[in-house]
Chains A and B, each alone.
Chain A
């Protein structure tokens, strides 16, 4: 999702360290500090929209349910005694992340009032086709709806918090 938001992937790091690996910890901190210095300061004000959209996305049912499930899905049989391949699990996750992030962007730009599809595309940087597709998903979930016409252009509003 960081990639979708245009934030450097290396800003978030995950490392496994055991209690006995003091030297390893020091090495990781050195490495991560070096990598982070090279990227320069994080300009949070430039990413307000993206971070708000990411926050909305991580609060959705779909991502809350899928987070942490990758291992189980790829390594345990389901009730039909079949198993999802790790690649497919990855694809499912990628699709879910992209979908919820896009919808997060849309709900975020809709929070100040009704917008047309074209206006939403301009504010989010997404293509008109993508807005159309995600808006449809939001409507199906009862999170957005048609509001009014401005001339012949339909405007939509968010029903979410």
Chain B
């Protein structure tokens, strides 16, 4: 494992809560590492367990579901 390893995390963010929260974090200039690859859903309840498996099958190092 190299020193510069940065994980790629697949993130499902719901439009109304988590995505808006992320937007607020950006506007407020809170710092966080660029590890998330975001897919916006209308509701986190829409996220099927199969999507999580698909993420791992594709090779993401982690899956983050927020809503």
Contacts and interface: CB of A to CB of B under 8 A. Distances in A.
Given A22-B24, A58-B50, A58-B53, A14 B66 contact: yes
B66 A33 contact: no
Given A32-B62, A42-B62, A22 B56 contact: no
Nearest to B67: A16
A32 B36 CA distance: 10
B65 A14 contact: yes
Interface in A52-99: 54-55, 58-59, 63, 67-68
Interface stretch (A23-31, A107-115, A133-141, A152-160): A23-31
A27 B21 CA distance: 11
A40 B62 CA distance: 10
B50 A25 contact: no
A25 B56 contact: no
A12 interface: yes
Contacts of A54: 53
Contact of B24 (A19, A33, A36, A58): A19
Nearest to A8: B62
B46 to A, nearest CB: 11
A67 B36 CA distance: 26
Interface of A: 7, 10-30, 32-33, 35-37, 39-42, 44, 47, 51, 54-55, 58-59, 63, 67-68
A-B pairs, top 7 by smallest CB distance, nearest first, are A22-B24, A19-B20, A26-B30, A22-B25, A29-B32, A36-B7, A25-B21
8 contacts: A11-B62, A16-B66, A16-B67, A17-B22, A19-B21, A33-B33, A54-B53, A67-B49
Interface of B: 1, 5-7, 9, 16-18, 20-28, 30-33, 35-36, 45, 48-50, 52-53, 56-67
